[in-house]
Amino acid sequence: MKIIKRNKAEVDFDQSKITAAITKANNAANENERMTAVQIERIADSVTKQCEKASRAMSVEEIQDLVEKQIMAHGAYEVAKLYITYRYTRTLVRRANTTDDTILSLIDCNNEEVKQENSNKNPAVNSVQRDYMAGEVSKDLTCRLLLPQDIVEAHKNGIIHFHDSDYYAQRMHNCDLVNLEDMLQNGTVISGTMIEKPKSFSTACNISTQIIAQVASNQYGGQSISLTHLAPFVQVSREKITRYVKEEMKEAGVELTDEMLSKMVASRLHEEISRGVQTIQYQVITLLTTNGQAPFITIFMYLNEAKDPQLKADLALIIEEILKQRIQGVKNEAGVYVTPAFPKLIYVLEEDNIAPDRPYYYLTELAAKCTAKRMVPDYISEKVMLQLKVDKTGTGRCYTCMGCRSFLTPYVDEQGNPKYYGRFNQGVVTLNLVDVACTARQSQKADKVAAFWETLDERLVLCHRALRLRHERLKGTLSDAAPILWQHGALARLQKGETINKLLYNGYSTLSLGYAGLWECVYAVTGKKLTEDEGRRFGLEVMQRLNDACAEWKAEEHIDYSIYGTPLESTTYKFAKCLQRRFGIIEGVTDKNYITNSYHIHVTEEIDAFQKLKLESEFQRLSPGGAISYVEVPNMQNNIPAVISVIQFIYDNIMYAELNTKSDYCQVCGFDGEIVIEKVDGKLIWKCPNCGNTDQNKMNVARRTCGYIGTQFWNQGRTQEIAERVMHL
């Protein structure tokens, strides 16, 4: 059994330390107030048993809370008072320097919380450690000086989550929809160097990867680019190759027929496209940005975004190559092809590719094979999105999210033109809906449903204040802080010394009110599941109230607030632990070491893929700032027609969804299948079912956890959630 120390290092549980701490307080008490040695040992035994029941590593603070309660239960109030006083004194000492121990544990790779905080960051790498170290200092500064203490305490207690507080001090923002078209067509500046319009497709791809890296180093969330913005450079290369071939053949004295010329150009153009796509794929996953990880980049594949038939045909060539190279994968250290985390791919389902008689159906078949093998692409239904994303002109729009799920709201500029590329999200604050429900259950009011709505409204006021803090922190930011973003086209073309203020209002950018644990929230209040009519209706009412609050704030402030289905990663474990501390174990509500992402059906619920997607589509409609649904499937590589059936169902029923499968490899024995999860000494570990290897450094595991693929493993809460997932097909 393990415990988590204050510096976040994980160590073996030692009951003797509990005994020693109680004995020290006991010896300081008056003799007639002291407990016997037998009583002290009983307390230590009881605390140990409670820690074992928790089925996770308890923190030192949690264990000390248990000790206090047990001492009080034995009637040793004087000893309890001395024990509490000692804890308080030590807390004051620690507050004098809040970061040293944590930073040292980072350097020693002994910080269990940070080691599994981000499933795509390797904490043993210097650049990652440097980012985490800077983050600890920044978080300390933010919590002590920049945020009100009630916001800090609410975050600490898991009532809300103030996302990415390690970047708050720097006035950085969340997600971007990069205006790659402007940067490639009109030129940009990277690190003080003028980059002009590229003269070939492969050069455009190379410049794009540099843009991606620069953007990722100046914000902390996801970013998206569209392949449509690269497609015009296929024609640039086609014309260039045609000239070269004609010149070469003329010099060689060879007379070309039109057919011969066409074949030679097509062959060389394919090589050019292949090189360009490979540049994007390999550079993106091998680049390290200033936060120590590959850029969190999403590539958007939308045929109908092309403005003319030739551009659409050229875009199809790029999409085909992207999918083929992703099916192949990338080589790991042992030279074996495995599944990379990035770039994330999004494929739009539309009339021209959804049925066998349509001209681009072959791309959908290829996408299905890619999903079965590598878990991407994810799918956006143009049909459904045009119904849900309607701008003020009454026109439906189809566009990509920023990263894994963060969607901008429809926007039309002053000239009446729709605008999505060049926009961004200011930041996220997430509301723990489970805590709202549990707080209402504990209230003195007889009507627990009324208590829930009252508590929810109070928490929304708290979230609104926290979101305004994110907005106010960005106000006054000079374009000079991130020239690639604000001056050179990624998001804007502002002047030097100009503030970004005008981009923060009137819908140009968004602020996201995140939410988590709708499943547990509904069950706690109604005793019903989201899959039951009463539970579904109540869940929809909760979602509508969140939307109403955002609409009220937006109308008053001209700031675009939007509801966002938070992709909890490490926070799912943090929220679960906080709920257990505050409310104990409540069956069906707080009895797991994780809570459910956004509106999702619980991972243990038996439901088929089509029912799940249909039901969740109602909730996704009420999550306009971002959400994604998924279905869990077995190995489908030999059943592509079934994959296509799910894809076609997505097209007709839900805006944005994905299929989750497994893609693992054991470096010890070469096993290519599913690495399993087992419990050993109270801890969940990953194990090769073939050779028994449990060394995470000698296996490649890829799992979808939050709308994107993680490859660096997860904390115990998320690992339990992964282990308990049921299949939907």
Is 167 an active-site residue? Answer: no
Cβ atoms of 513 and 463 within 8 Å: the answer is yes
Select which of 105, 226, 425, 512 is catalytic.
425
Is 292 an active-site residue? Answer: no
3-class secondary structure, 598: coil
> Nearest to residue 654, comparing CAs of 293, 380, 327?
380
| CA separation for the pair 136, 248 (Å, rounded) | 60
DSSP character string of 455-520: HHHHHHHHHHHHHHHHHHHHTT-BGGG-HHHHTSSSS--PPTT-BSGGGGSTTSSEEEEEEE-HHH
Tokens matching residue 534:
């009463």
Select which of 132, 379, 564, 599 is catalytic.
564
Select which of 111, 200, 218, 406 is catalytic.
406
State phi, psi for 620 to the nearest 5 degrees: -60, -35
3-class secondary structure, 389: coil
DSSP H helical ranges for 502-656: 518-526, 533-557, 571-583, 609-620, 640-653
Is 404 an active-site residue? Answer: yes
Is 35 an active-site residue? Answer: no
Cβ atoms of 723 and 131 within 8 Å: the answer is no
> What residues form DSSP beta bridges with 338?
330
| CA separation for the pair 684, 512 (Å, rounded) | 33
> Nearest to residue 207, comparing CAs of 280, 131, 290?
280
Tokens matching residue 573:
């474990």
Select which of 365, 382, 520, 569 is catalytic.
569
Is 174 an active-site residue? Answer: yes
Q: Mention every residue, 6+ apart, whose C-beta is less than 8 A from residue 214.
A: 190, 191, 484, 490
Select which of 404, 438, 655, 688 is catalytic.
404
Helix (H) or strand (E) holding 79: helix 77-95
Select which of 143, 402, 463, 578 is catalytic.
402
Select which of 422, 427, 707, 710 is catalytic.
707
| CA separation for the pair 211, 225 (Å, rounded) | 10
Is 425 an active-site residue? Answer: yes
Is 175 an active-site residue? Answer: yes
Select which of 26, 165, 174, 660 is catalytic.
174
Is 406 an active-site residue? Answer: yes
Is 30 an active-site residue? Answer: no
> Nearest to residue 111, comparing CAs of 202, 8, 184, 29?
8
* Residues annotated as catalytic (active site), given as ranges: 174-175, 402, 404, 406, 425, 564, 569, 707
